Chain A
């Protein structure tokens, strides 16, 4: 069977000299689900932007159904039946779902938008492809999963035969992911072709027929999914063996570092998000917090790190009170914090890597001498950390926004781990980063713990919590509902029951093990 899409010897060199694609050959058959995998910065997105007409290749050619095509813009690609759903949705928040779907090719009546027709088309498409949406809801008010379905429907409305989905599951919950996969299968059943960009190997195995693996701008191989294992794909992506299991040497628990007592937090809108939370974290242990997102974990991390005021309670690090002080005091008390939202809190995107690495230490020697910041020391530290943490960048002068997601996270990790903390709060430390970077961050977390630091790990990835933690507590609706002193002896199902609020331990049971 002739390939539906064939990209030959694609080369893309950006004006700043970055070679994003280096002679890439990529082909997709009609009616297949083709996974395109690779670490962040491997060139997947660039390749797809070229296919979608958003970027012009420096060299190479694209064949669609055997015919060479030249897309000068994404409109050309759409006209040829190629559609793309981006990671960051491009919807008009104040418009309804139906209005967003028809935007650009609106059905008109008397020169105005035909609302009834827009609703009808939306319902019809939604039904046909099993993508559940509320046509009359305003986009601002719908959740991320539905926004994504709106984007897909919009692409279908424009007549896409080939859909490029750029890391579609990065923003979805497990349930939403399953729903998306069902829809993708339905699309293919109805004759569409799907290119699925991801770096989650479990999903590759689950959804795709064929996989193309990229690394450093080149294709490392194309395999049938059934012939590949997660390990073999990871090896192709990273270029070496990847240990998906964490190696955790035994350590004896040290002294109490963090002590939290009756901590409550009330949001600005008056909702109690944390209710009388008490726990301790000891040196040499990882305390994992499991829970469905939105059950108070964010608030817990941010009250402890000084970013939010607590309503009641106390918290101390090595005896020093930290609650309701300020981030500087908390940091000086020995707390480091990998924030959940790295783009909002963790980094200044247009500032250089150098300057992002000193936000917690620019005012102290050796960085601050006399009147000035000693930028020689800053650059030296930066060069060392880039080396040590494997941050992929030509130098530290570049703005952080030029890095891939995984490398941005490494900048944060490098800064927080080298502040010599007593307590490390790690919130969603591997969210949205690639296999290699994930492995690295997890190893570093365990290393901190093995070195005697206290680690508070908050993660929505249950397997991450289970494999890294020594002890686990479960949070449900702002309360601790379960304490598991031996993380190795608890099953995923058991934790799930606590996370969903079906089971909960009594106060006495918890106190007995805390």
Chain B
């Protein structure tokens, strides 16, 4: 078979593209059965997010959240810790970022960094709790992190309802953040391009969080693959007994992994509050916390792959939104199609079969490869 197939990145990409293709085909078949106008419905699903500037903006904004969450999840998963605490850390990140943006009387140059920092710190601390419980009491991190999600959500709702919401407001939300507490648009005010900037500001909420996200990707990558902590994290994930035997402090790694993961979930929360909504609302997370799991799984917990899987998954969600609004497809059907795609992409068994065939025909030498290309026993 072709030499380039030997490259694991290429193979992995082929694997994912093929799975997505198959899933989209299945999705279309479902659409055929459900929709009166399947072609248009499916087109809005596939192309919808790109049709208008504000839709592109929506897609990218949500992708930023997903990428932060994917990074957070990749960190804990890399240590084989099945913590699902990103939701809670995110909601508290949104809360603290919001409180700082609303109430701390500082100029933007100080207020914004302080808000982000506060979200990171609270994510770190909230993440450390299940870590400490796991390390010292051997409490299952999956259960404790889920419980803590509920606690975080209720704290958020309670504070929002009874303290933050203006008394005369008709619905449960804070005031819009003052100008000093809103993140600037990602597009810098370049002389001569004010028009472009104005259009972007009007149509999207894409803020400088974009750059913070890019930085975060590299921070997580270097943390994981270049620092002693990253080494410990990975060794604990691969073989805990080996790490212990070698002298790694397992408890420290467990607590730190969960806490550091919380930093990025906290940033996701700050993005929701300061970038997208510019106020605190009920259900601010929309359950997005768990979507980080999908993003991290698709990326195989590789931080450099997270932006790609985050964008792809974000696109899927955005397309589903458009399809729901622009066609007769119900939200439920859209979710079914989405789930099929995820299932197929994450199912480890679907494409390795093809890979195995490819590998087998390669090891059988040129003759077999030629035969395979001739179609006599093509995979």
> Using a CB–CB distance below 8 Å, which chain A residues touch chain B?
12-15, 56, 58-59, 305, 307, 326-328, 330-332, 337, 339, 344-351, 355, 358-360, 362-363, 368, 371-373, 375
Contact = CB atoms under 8 A, between A and B. Distances in A.
Q: Which of B242, B244, B365 has the most CB of A within 10 A?
A: B242
Nearest to B358: A15
A348 B226 contact: no
Interface string B211-244: 0000000000010001110010011001101111
B242 A346 contact: yes
Contact of A351 (B6, B227, B238, B249): B238
A327 B235 contact: no
A513 to B, nearest CB: 33
Contacts of A358: 231
Contacts of B227: 371-373
Q: Which 9 A-B pairs have the closest CB atoms?
A: A359-B246, A328-B247, A15-B359, A348-B238, A345-B245, A348-B239, A372-B226, A327-B247, A348-B242
A24 B256 CA distance: 53
Contacts of B362: 15
B238 A307 contact: no
Q: Which of B6, B246, B248 has the most CB of A within 10 A?
A: B246
Contact of A359 (B222, B247, B360): B247
Given A327-B245, A328-B249, A373-B226, A58 B239 contact: no
B241 A362 contact: no
B359 A359 contact: no
B315 to A, nearest CB: 32
A56 B226 contact: no
5 contacts: A15-B363, A331-B246, A349-B239, A355-B234, A360-B247
Given A350-B238, A359-B235, A373-B226, A58 B247 contact: no
A339 B249 contact: no
Contacts, number: 82
A373 B228 contact: yes
Nearest to B240: A348
B235 A351 contact: yes
B365 A59 contact: yes
B364 interface: yes
Contacts of A305: 245
B77 to A, nearest CB: 15
Given A359-B243, A360-B246, 6 more contacts: A13-B365, A339-B245, A348-B243, A351-B238, A372-B226, A375-B226
A346 B241 CA distance: 8
Contacts of B234: 351, 355
B242 A326 contact: no
Main secondary structure of the interface of B (DSSP, over half): helix
The interface size bin for chain B is: 20 to 34
Interface of B: 6, 222, 226-228, 231, 234-235, 238-239, 241-249, 359-360, 362-365
Contact of A14 (B222, B238, B363, B365): B363
Contact of A326 (B228, B231, B249): B249
Contacts of A349: 238-239
A56 B360 contact: yes
Nearest to A372: B226
A428 to B, nearest CB: 15
Contacts of B243: 348, 359
Contacts of A373: 226-228, 231
Contacts of A360: 246-247
A54 to B, nearest CB: 13
A47 B242 CA distance: 32
A358 B235 CA distance: 11
A36 to B, nearest CB: 22
Nearest to A12: B363
A345 B231 contact: no
A116 to B, nearest CB: 38
B238 A372 contact: no
